[in-house]
Structures are given as C-alpha cells and as structure tokens.
Amino acid sequence: MSFPDLRIALTAAAAVMALAVAGAAAAQSMIVRSTGPSAAKYPTGAKLKSTDRLTLVAGDKVVLIQSGKTRTLSGPGTYSASGTVQASQSMGATVARMLAKGPQMRSRGGFSRGPDEAAPTDIRAPNLWLLDYREPGTFCVADPAALLLWRPDMESDQLLRIEQDGHSETVAFVSGANFRKWPADALPIRYGVDYHLSGGGLAAPVTVRFAALDSVPETIDATVETLMANNCAPQLDRLVDALSEGEGTGG
C-alpha cells in the first residue's frame, strides 16, 4: 500500500472510530429514579447501553436520563433504553433556573393565597443550591458562605431553630421573604455531621447534613452524577421532578 493510500485508510479508520465512540457515549442513559417491584433489578445509578431493554411489571416506574432529558417508563411492559424524549419548550428556562449558581436573595419562588385557601404542599425550591429545610437528608454545597435557606410560605413571620452539637441559632424569616442566609458566623458549615432544624413552619423536626463540592457542575448529566455520588437525594429528587414535568413525547 502506498503512503497516500495508507494515510487515507488511517484517516477513514479514525473517523469511523470517532463516530463509534461518540455514538456509544450519546446512546448511554442512566437510571435516576426506580420504584416498584423491579427497583432492585434496575437500581438508581445504573448505566444502560442503547441495546439494553427493561422489562417492567405492574407498579414499576423507572426514570432514565440521557443528554440532559428524562424519560419515564411505567410497567407493565418492555422498553428499549434508546428511546428519545422531546423536552417541552419551557424546559430550557427550568433547567437554567434550577442549575443557576447564584440565586438572588429576594422573594421569589414562594406562594401567596387567599384567607380561606390552604397552603399548597407541592411547592419546591426553584434552585438546586437553595436549602429547602423541609427536606431531610444530605445536601451538597459548593460555597458555604453563600448558602441560603428557603421556605415556600412567605405570608408570616417564622423562627427557624438550628441546633448542632450543643450549639443553636435562630433564623428569623419575615413576612414577604422566603430566603435567609445560613447563620455561618454562629454555626459554620461542617461536613458529615447532623444539624437539627425545628420551627419555621415545619410539622416535625428535620435533620440535614452537608457534603462538600469543589465546584458546581455545569450540565444536567454532570449534576445528576455529582448528586448521586454524594448521596444528595433531596436535590436529586428535586431535579428529576423538574425534568420529568418538562417531558414531552418520547419514543
């Protein structure tokens, strides 16, 4: 084989390999939520190839993520892991709001109601890096100095008590505001220890702990993997819920 022919062959082989690698990466999906009788068979965090198939029974619900979009599968039935989803038109704004690194400290994302209306229970914090103190579990935080507490109800003055290892601090929420800064001077963020929160409109005390992030992930897929790796389930649930609400039709 002459040198020009060899060069052409090598170039073609490299192009085919690059396409194969890119295709494999693009086709891979990951399970981000799994409930029902088959949850152990299809655990959260499992990665799937495009050729994989999922056989679900009644009561199963599996949410897959691929290229920043989710796809919800419900049993019974057999499904290909390579199906695609056309996200709704509002998904871009939702994702940008959820992943924004620096939410403004102003009243937004809460609710208001009439005098005879009950407070809704499904309002979620509009940004992943806001600490919705109703959610127990591990919370991933990249910048402790900028950590904000969030509540859904802005219509009353409330006192939130935070306790950790014999130390306590009270955070005052005033009517019309649903953000308050974490009291870092009195209770610095420590990782891997429990903080007990009470009051502040909570029906029962809540326990949270913190996991350190070196930086905030830039993409949805990277965010999902980071939250999973650090066991930050409340934030992962919030993100998956937001993505699932934006699902359009899928194959």
Task: Give the residue-averaged pLDDT of 42-69.
Answer: 91
Is residue 24 located within the same domain as residue 60? yes
Is residue 7 located within the same domain as residue 57? yes
- Per the structure, the count of domains in the chain is 2
Is residue 104 located within the same domain as residue 208? yes
Reference 244, options 75, 83, 62; nearest CA is 62
Is 250 contained in some domain? no
Is residue 133 located within the same domain as residue 231? yes
* Mean pLDDT lowest among 142-146, 166-170, 205-209: 142-146
Is 49 contained in some domain? yes
pLDDT digits (tens, 9 = 90+) for 93-102: 777 888 887 6
Task: Give the residue-averaged pLDDT of 187-198.
Answer: 96
Range(s) of the domain holding residue 39: 3-80
> How much is the pLDDT for 101?
78
Q: Are strands 137-141 and 206-212 parallel, antiparallel or unpaired?
A: parallel
Is 41 contained in some domain? yes
Is residue 128 located within the same domain as residue 75? no
119 with 160: CB under 8 angstroms? no
Is residue 108 located within the same domain as residue 64? no
165 with 195: CB under 8 angstroms? no
Is 88 contained in some domain? no
Is residue 131 located within the same domain as residue 61? no
**Measured distance CA(121)–CA(148) in Å, rounded:** 20
Pick the more confident residue, 196 or 111. 196
Q: What pTM did the predictor assign?
A: 0.76
pLDDT digits (tens, 9 = 90+) for 64-121: 988 888 889 999 999 998 876 655 555 677 778 888 876 544 444 444 444 444 444 5
Is 89 contained in some domain? no
Is residue 221 located within the same domain as residue 104? yes
Q: At what angle do helices 220-229 and 233-245 cross, to 10 degrees?
A: 150
Is residue 183 located within the same domain as residue 102? yes
> How much is the pLDDT for 115?
47
**Measured distance CA(74)–CA(135) in Å, rounded:** 26
Is 251 contained in some domain? no
11 with 3: CB under 8 angstroms? no
Is residue 68 located within the same domain as residue 8? yes
Is residue 102 located within the same domain as residue 214? yes
Is residue 138 located within the same domain as residue 207? yes
Question: What average pLDDT is seen over the chain?
Answer: 81
Task: Give the residue-averaged pLDDT of 148-170.
Answer: 94
Is 18 contained in some domain? yes
